């Protein structure tokens, strides 16, 4: 099959690799423009672009897709179908109808649940026990197209969003291959829009820890909001980022945000609902990530001190 592939982050790379391995003719790859990154703010190519160059596939990085010129270039590829995996833009109607088989999207949730830009992060942050992959026929809405195939997978108890995304990217590649192999016989199934939930793009403010939440809710956000925006609080007037934490098995009489116990390998902090959070990995402002054990070896922290809002 003649395919135009559209994707940007590392999570889209396994699907591109699988399409090529299955013998499809990928005539073009569309990805977001290079962006400044790192300390030097040097332009950095998206992972999909790097893989496409490695595979010898022409790369297109339009600044805008809602122009007649962009549409004419897109149509000129004369593909059978567009495959879209985390491209990063909502495609206009002209792009969706440019090829005979339209556009097929790989989405990282079990639609209609978690429509939007950050389904993997919100699945963990919300405490979902299961999630999965959906392939769908794209329409002009936000992840509202008809479902083609779905595959469910459990969310592991200590899995971060980075780990879950890596795993789902492989599941997505398999499901897309199955979708393309059966595209002539699959019957698209409309979504039940009344069951839809949203997974909006993450903002920095989402990472601010609200210590009135329960320890389980905070621990889920710590795992879910990685690598951005992270989960952070203020300690002694400076930002403190928490990278690993779990609910304590003991009930708590500590106030939300109050440091109630100091263990050799953990800091125990009071949370809402009489719960406590056991913090095992964290990062002081301007310093590297470290275990709680290493931090406590160098910093004297007292019971009764408080974590608070950063602003």
What distance in Å separates the CA atoms of residue 114 and residue 170, rounded to the nearest whole number? Answer: 19
DSSP H or E run through 170: helix 161-181
Q: What is the SS3 assignment for 53? A: helix
DSSP H or E run through 259: strand 259-262
Pick from 29, 23, 28, 30: which is nearest to 1 by CA?
23
- pLDDT for position 227: 95
Contact 279, 269 (CB under 8 A): yes
Structural tokens at position 172: 């997505």
Nearest-10 Cα torsion for 73, 75, 80, 85: 60
- pLDDT for position 311: 66
Contact 280, 265 (CB under 8 A): yes
| Region class of 237: left (phi > 0), else alpha (psi between -120 and 50), else beta | left
Encode the chain (311 residues) as per-residue pLDDT tens digits. Answer: 999 999 999 999 999 999 999 999 999 999 999 998 777 778 899 999 999 999 999 999 999 999 999 999 999 999 999 999 999 999 999 999 999 999 999 999 999 999 999 999 999 999 999 999 999 999 999 999 999 999 999 999 999 999 999 999 999 999 999 999 999 999 999 999 999 999 999 999 999 999 999 999 999 999 999 999 999 999 999 999 999 999 998 888 899 999 999 998 999 999 999 999 999 999 999 999 999 999 999 999 999 999 998 86
- pLDDT for position 251: 82
DSSP H or E run through 16: helix 13-21
- pLDDT for position 43: 87
- pLDDT for position 310: 80
Q: How many CB atoms lie within 10 A of CB 79?
A: 24
Predicted TM-score of the model (pTM): 0.94
Report residue 180 CA to chain centroid gap.
Answer: 24
What distance in Å separates the CA atoms of residue 19 and residue 15, rounded to the nearest whole number? Answer: 6
**Residues listed for the chain:** 311
CA distances from 170 to 19, 98, 164 (A): 12, 28, 10
Contact 126, 206 (CB under 8 A): no
What distance in Å separates the CA atoms of residue 72 and residue 94, rounded to the nearest whole number? Answer: 9
What distance in Å separates the CA atoms of residue 46 and residue 105, rounded to the nearest whole number? Answer: 19
Contact 85, 174 (CB under 8 A): no
What distance in Å separates the CA atoms of residue 234 and residue 216, rounded to the nearest whole number? Answer: 20
Q: What is the SS3 assignment for 95? A: helix
Report residue 302 CA to chain centroid gap.
Answer: 36
């Amino acid at each position: 099959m003649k395919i135009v592939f559209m994707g940007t982050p590392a999570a889209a790379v396994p699907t591109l690799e699988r399409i090529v391995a299955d013998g499809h003719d990928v005539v073009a790859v569309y990805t977001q423009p290079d962006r400044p990154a790192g300390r030097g703010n040097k332009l950095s190519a998206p992972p999909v672009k790097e893989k496409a160059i490695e595979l010898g596939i022409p790369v297109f990085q339009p600044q805008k897709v809602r122009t007649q010129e962009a549409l004419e270039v897109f149509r000129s590829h004369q593909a059978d179908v567009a495959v879209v995996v985390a491209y990063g833009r909502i495609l206009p109607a002209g792009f969706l109808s440019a090829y005979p088989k339209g556009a097929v999207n790989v989405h990282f949730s079990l639609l209609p649940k978690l429509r939007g830009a950050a389904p993997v992060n919100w699945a963990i942050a919300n405490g979902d026990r299961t999630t999965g992959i959906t392939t769908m026929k794209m329409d002009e809405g936000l992840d509202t197209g008809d479902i083609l195939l779905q595959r469910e997978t459990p969310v592991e108890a200590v899995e971060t969003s980075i780990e879950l995304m890596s795993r789902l990217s492989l599941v997505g590649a398999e499901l897309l291959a199955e979708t393309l192999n059966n595209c002539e016989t699959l019957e698209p199934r409309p979504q039940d829009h009344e069951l839809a939930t949203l997974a909006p793009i993450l903002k920095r403010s989402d990472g601010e820890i609200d210590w009135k939440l329960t320890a389980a809710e905070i621990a889920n956000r710590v795992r879910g909001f990685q690598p951005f925006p992270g989960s952070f609080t203020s300690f002694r007037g400076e930002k403190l980022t928490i990278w690993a934490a779990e609910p304590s098995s003991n009930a708590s009489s500590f106030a939300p945000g109050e440091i109630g116990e100091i263990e050799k390998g953990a800091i125990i902090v009071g949370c809402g609902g009489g719960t406590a959070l056991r913090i095992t990995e964290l990062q002081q402002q301007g310093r590297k990530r470290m275990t709680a054990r290493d931090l406590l070896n160098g910093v004297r922290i007292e019971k009764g001190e408080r974590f608070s809002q950063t602003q």
